[in-house]
Structures are given as structure tokens and as C-alpha cells.
Structure 1
């Protein structure tokens, strides 16, 4: 009887789904007719200007005589080129994520005393409330750590006596607490999942206040808590490169959007996490890893250019991997000639690959990076060039670090919470109006039909 009920329910849902889809279709020509910028993007790919920010700047083209001319990509945090930021702290053989977070939040680089005090402050926030792990994480483990992270963030609302206070002082306190706790929440979420769903031993290492964010991730994740300096350095670098990307990326815009309603910090960050989780945004590096697994299985000789180009062509023609017609990790919505994050990450990925004995795999990645744009140029008409984006190498780096696939996108969130925090405070301080873009209704006006006069649902729909 139960199976029959399930079959009937499924058939009912299938019929409702068809009607739901039919009632949701909008004639594509109407978007052009009413000059609707789908995705808030112009036809030339530029984003529609919806706000101002001093936090991050993405630069990929210049305009000359109203013509967009692509240039090598640049990413600036508070006006400083991220390439200079990474070179600066790496020269001192330090970790830089905490310094970068300070820059994003407060608008200037800290001096030695300010940095030391800030690192100490972040360290003091790393521990979770008493019994939080048992009550909020371990009792309801989920395979999607982004959902676990969002649920934990919302749960922290209940532990905050000033949860709804949106003063700058209180929001900064909340943001610093979340920045510090995101690594713990993400790693613990994974440990609970691995224990409950994969049957692995449960490791719960407390974060150490004296360690950097990158070091704490590796310390809490690995059973023996051990890691090399190069491993921590590369993870720290990845965090910096993912910390901010202007106010227009989907999750940062979500932060501005939800903040503008006047809601609390925990709700805002949970919404940003939901945005970042999507495969079109933060989940993209997982697609790159899966693509390369399939590619390595199909291509026996990683030095064979012809075999590689043949496979890439099949990807574009929906004949290989997920048949989506995409080469994941190649191309970006903004960058064309180069993604500065990919360039920086690539250099240190080579060092880690050498340390791990994975030189051949690294060279395979670089060969794909070189050949993919050529294949795309032959197969597709492009209004701009394409290059490797940060996701192309980040998945490779995380794999070399032994990070589980389930933590790839949460690592992105651990980094981007710094940028989200800066954007939330920027929105609040400037006291902007609630963000409410217009949607034009194109539905035909009809009259209400009394229930007893309706012949059936399909007739009413007509």
C-alpha cells in the first residue's frame, strides 16, 4: 500500500511540475523588448552599475573610443594590488590572511603592533560555545558542508545576546567572531559527516589561538595535526586570493542586498553562504577536479597535444565528461587575458607539486591551460579571450593538500567571509536604501473564476 501511495504521489508531483514549468516560461524576446539586463549584465558582458565600493576592484579592460579593450587582469584590495600584497608578506616568510582581513575591514595595512593585536583578537574568538559541536553539528551531520556551515551560523544567533543589534560596533564584533569560527565550523562539519556517513574515526581537535587561519584548518583536519610550512603557506595564499572580488560577485552582492533589509548578521552570512554554494559561483572548483579525473582516465599520454585537443573538443561539443559543453576552470565573467589569482596560485602550486612528487600532473595542468584557449577559439565565436581562472588551480592545490572534496567550497567561504564582512559594514555605514530592483509583469490580466465554474485546471490555465 505504501509503494502505491508513493507512486501516486510521484505521478501527482510530475503533473504539477509540468504545469509549474509551463506557467513560469517567459518569452525570451520580451527581455530584449523591455531592455532587461539578464543577470544584471550588458550585452558586452559588463555588469550593470548598481553600487559603489572602496573594498575591492576587479580590472580587466580599458575603454577607448567606446570600445572595450581587454588588458591583463588586476585585483586590488582597498586600492592595493593583490600581487603586491602576496609578495610583501611572503618576502617576510609570514602568513598573510589575517593581515589581508585587517586591510579589507579597516582600509589600511596594519603596523606590527596592530597586526599582533588583531591576530590575538581573532585567536580569542576561535572556540565555539560550550556543547555547540555536540548539539548543533554532531547530532545532524550532512554531506554538504556548506549547508552545515549555514545552519551553524544561524544557530550562533541563539548564543548572541545582541544578535539583532546592527550598530557598527556590534556588527564588527559579530563579523570578527564569524571570521574566526568559520574554519572550526567547516572542519567540524566535515568530521561529523565523515564519522556518521563514511564510518571514519571522529577527530575533534580544538583550534589553537596562536596558529594562523590556514594552520588551524590543517591542524584541526588531519588526524596527526601535522603539516609542512609550504602546505600552510599555499593554503594561506589560496585564502587571500579568495577573500574578496568586488561588490558585484553573486555572494558579495547578496551580502549588500540582504544587509539593506536591516536584518541581523547571522542571516546575512547564511544567505551569502547559500549563494556561494552554487556551482556557478563557489562550487566551480569541484567541477574542475571531476573534469580532470575524467580527462586523466581518457588520455593515456599526458604529453600528447593531439589527444588533449581532441578531448577538449569533445568537451565543447558535449561529447565528454558531463556533456555541458564547458571546459571548467577556463574563462571568467570578467577576466579575459588573465586572472591574476590564477597566475599567483600557479607559481606556488608548482612548488608544492614538486614537494609532493607530482611534477607530471602539474605539467599536465599547464598544458591544458595553454591548449584550451586555442581549442575554444577554433570551436566558438568569442567576443573576448579566455584564460585559466582561479578555480583551475585551486582544486589541484586542495587535492595536493589532501583536503576532502566536501571542503573545497567551504574553504572558499572561510576566505570570503572577510570580504562579506567588509561589504556588510560598508552597506550599513552608508545607510543605503533597501535594494529593490524592478521587475515588469508581463502576465495577461484575467478575471477570477468561481470554483464551481472551473471545468479543470488546464482549462483555467488557458
Structure 2
């Protein structure tokens, strides 16, 4: 048993009594109430999911295992010669909540190299698709193809299934999926956009650096990959991709079934697809300013008002939960200020950041006038030559696998039940509305 799995075993055993006690002794304690607009409006803000992997605070932004993004980057061991932690260090941290030592990180790096060997049949399944299929379809199919070798599924079918130990097999699947999704994504990129001229894995590189290598990038894109995958890893359990993964896994489906479903949710325009839409809007915005025109507060303010007065929104601004600038945006902005401060597209994005919140507040219709993660991420990819917009959600999907997989390992470790909300009819809502509420 690896040291990471050994530590996780101890953590789960220590944690289980907390969940058991809450259900047994305090199960009927009221923690929230549900309104009609929440019921109709997508269960917004209803406190009905549990995760200790991350928490999204409206003012602070995301915390991973209690740490802010800057605290996380500062605390975790860095890749050699890099300002950023390895993805392997972050994976250990998400699973256990402990900052790993360099020796522990090295073990995970070595383990991922073994786990990351993708079976040939996965690539065959992707190649069987029409080449003009969306890369998210290819990624979802590639992940689903891995299901044939699911350790969790084998354990369930063995006749020896045990609810208290099944997490160990989910851990194996989750670890294999995380290790393999980046090479699969790199394969898709080279297959779809680079004439299927594949680049072999470099066994000397960590997760992020090897992904950069396999898609044909050089330094500092290794740091882009590390930063991007960590920033996009988790955002509480209620977003579409994380919630879908949790929901499907709650039926005791294995990690591959669950995350393939989560990826299909991530592909939606209101979720992971937003990053490419934001970049498209920024480039159109640049065209309207005029070729070679330097962005200023005056011309950007006018262009923003023209956008709003035409009944359009400002993509990349606003968030369902956050009420301040998304710290994920800030992290990417800091990277741009260091590595591409004079890039025309970044200069425009930077000026929009200076101007847009004030315009949106004056406009008065935006609950949150601050930028989210999507307002910045596409610009970095474009600068380094990854200009295939429809691939951006695949990058998101690689990062989001970290949080989704850590969550379902813990879901099985704590024996969470199958998710089954209770539905009501519109007639019931109308009746309760007339009566001023449901009578308990």
C-alpha cells in the first residue's frame, strides 16, 4: 500500500465517527429552509451537499482544505525550478488535507507515471469517432472507455462487496483516472489539431510539465498547466460537473461512469464552455476598438456601455456565489503581469478589469460586477499558441478531475447514501403560495 493511501485510510477511519454521530444524534437539526424560488430556480443556495475538499466563500473565494489559493501555492512543495506546486502535491493535499513532504510528493509522481499508462483501446475508441467531433465528446468517450478495467466494478461484482472498504477500490479508479486524463487530453489535442503527430511521454517530467511536453509546448507553459489544473480543480460540490459526478457515483457507479457524466455537464455553455465564449467576446471587443488602437479607460468605457445598451452582457463578469474578484482570476492575472505584460490581448483584458466593475455597478443590474476565472484564462492559452478554443473546456476537465475524484473517494469512505431529492408539483407550489407556506 502506498504511503498516500495508507494516510488516507487513517484519515477516513478517524473521520467516520463524526458523520455517524451527526446523523444519529443531530439528524433532525434544522440547518436551512427552502423557498419557492429556490425550488424552481435550480436549488440555488440550498445547503444540502457535504464536502470537506473545498469551500466557496462569497468574499474570500475558494478555499482548498481550508487554505486560500495563495496559501495553497505557498504551502505545497514546488516543482523543480518552478514557482508553482506539482499537480501530484496538490492531489495528495486534496485527499488528505495535509501538506505533503517532498518525499511524499516524489512517491506520488512515481506512482502517477505507472498509473498514467493509457491502454491502446482508449485511443482506438477516440479514433473511431468522426474527427470533427467536439474534443469534449472525445474526452468523455476516452474516460468511459477506461471503465472496462474498473477496480471498483470488479470488487462490486466479486460477491465480497463491503460498503466500509469499497472506498479503497474507488481510490484506485480515481487515482488511475487522474493519472490518465492528462495523457488522454494531450492525445486528443495532437490527434485533432496536429495531424495525429503524437509526442511520447517524458518519464523525467511531473504531471503538468509532461502535459505541456505532450501537446508540444515548452517552458513556461509547464507552469501554465500546473496553475491551470490546480485553479480549476474544485469549486465546492454544487457546481454541475462536481455535483453530477457525485450524483452518479452515489448510485455506486464507478469513477469512470461518474466522471464521464460530469464532463458532459462541464461541456455546457453555462459551465465549462464559458471560457472559450469569453475569449471570443474579448477578440470581438478588440476588433470594435480598431486595429492597433491602445485600450484606454475612455474607449473601453464607451465600448462597455455600447455592449450593455445593446442588451448584451459582459462575459466573464459575475458569479453565482462570489461577491468579489475571483481569486482564480487574480492568480492568472499575476502570471500575465510577470510573463506577458505587453501582450495586446492581455492589455485589453487588464483595462476591462479596471473599468468594467464601475460600469456594471452604475448600470445596476449585475449582482456581482467583478471578474470570474473565465475572464482571464483563455488569454493565456491564446498567447502561448493554444488557439483551438473548443479545446479549452478539455483543459478545464483535466483540472476538475482532481476535485471530483477526491470527493467521490471520500463519499465512499464515509458511506454517503444514494442522492434522491423529493420532487413536488407546480400545483403544490401554487397551493403553498396561496396559504403562505407549507404546513408541516
- Establish whether residue 202 from structure 1 lines up as the match of residue 189 from structure 2: no
Please give the secondary structure, in 2, of the residue aligned with 1:165.
helix
| Equivalent pair of 1:214/1:235 in contact (CA under 8 Å) | yes
Please give the secondary structure, in 2, of the residue aligned with 1:136.
helix
1:232-251 to 2 correspondence within 5 Å? Answer: 232-251=222-241
1:19 matched residue in structure 2:
none
Distance 1:162 1:373 in 2: 48
- Establish whether residue 175 from structure 1 lines up as the match of residue 153 from structure 2: no
2:405 matched residue in structure 1:
421
Distance 1:336 1:435, change over 3 A: same
Contiguous gaps of at least 5 residues in structure 2: 1-33, 157-165, 429-440
Distance 1:164 1:294 in 2: 51
Q: Which has the larger radius of gyration?
A: 1
Contiguous gaps of at least 5 residues in structure 1: 1-30, 42-46, 61-70, 195-199, 320-324, 445-462
Cα shift readout 1:374-425 (whole Å, capped 9, x = no counterpart): 121222334x442111111111111112223232111111111010011111
1:344 matched residue in structure 2:
331
Distance 1:316 1:122, change over 3 A: same
Distance 2:53 2:381 in 1: 27
Distance 1:143 1:48 in 2: 36
1:110-259 to 2 correspondence within 5 Å? Answer: 110-133=100-123, 135-140=124-129, 141-160=131-150, 163-165=153-155, 167-194=166-193, 200-222=194-216, 226-228=217-219, 230-259=220-249
RMSD of aligned residue pairs (Cα, Å):
2.3
1:36 matched residue in structure 2:
39
- Establish whether residue 274 from structure 1 lines up as the match of residue 261 from structure 2: no
Distance 1:352 1:275 in 2: 33
| Equivalent pair of 1:316/1:326 in contact (CA under 8 Å) | yes
Which of 313, 332, 336 matches 2:305? 313
Report how far residue 121 of structure 1 moved.
0.4
Distance 2:282 2:365 in 1: 25
Report how far residue 150 of structure 1 moved.
0.7
Cα shift readout 1:272-294 (whole Å, capped 9, x = no counterpart): 10111111111111011100110
Distance 1:33 1:250, change over 3 A: closer
Distance 1:425 1:39 in 2: 26
1:5 matched residue in structure 2:
none
| Equivalent pair of 2:152/2:254 in contact (CA under 8 Å) | no
Please give the secondary structure, in 2, of the residue aligned with 1:389.
coil
Distance 1:270 1:33 in 2: 32
Cα shift readout 1:215-238 (whole Å, capped 9, x = no counterpart): 12221112xxx502x221122112
Distance 1:258 1:50 in 2: 16
| Equivalent pair of 1:143/1:406 in contact (CA under 8 Å) | no
Which of 54, 57, 65 matches 2:55? 57
Report how far residue 203 of structure 1 moved.
1.1
Report how far residue 91 of structure 1 moved.
9.7
| Equivalent pair of 2:174/2:409 in contact (CA under 8 Å) | no
Distance 2:212 2:176 in 1: 20
Distance 1:402 1:81 in 2: 30
Which of 308, 311, 331 matches 2:318? 331
Report how far residue 341 of structure 1 moved.
1.1
> What is the total number of aligned residue pairs between the two structures?
379
2:5 matched residue in structure 1:
none
| Equivalent pair of 1:254/1:272 in contact (CA under 8 Å) | yes
TM-score (norm. length: structure 1) = 0.77
| Equivalent pair of 2:136/2:393 in contact (CA under 8 Å) | yes
TM-score (norm. length: structure 2) = 0.80
Report how far residue 164 of structure 1 moved.
4.8
1:82-97 to 2 correspondence within 5 Å? Answer: 82-88=69-75, 89=77, 93-94=81-82, 95-97=85-87
Report how far residue 96 of structure 1 moved.
2.5
1:365 matched residue in structure 2:
349
1:436 matched residue in structure 2:
420
Report how far residue 37 of structure 1 moved.
4.9
Which of 79, 83, 101 matches 2:91? 101
Please give the secondary structure, in 1, of the residue aligned with 2:284.
helix
Distance 1:111 1:87 in 2: 14
1:330-409 to 2 correspondence within 5 Å? Answer: 330-354=317-341, 358-382=342-366, 384-403=367-386, 404-409=388-393
Distance 1:149 1:304, change over 3 A: same
1:3 matched residue in structure 2:
none
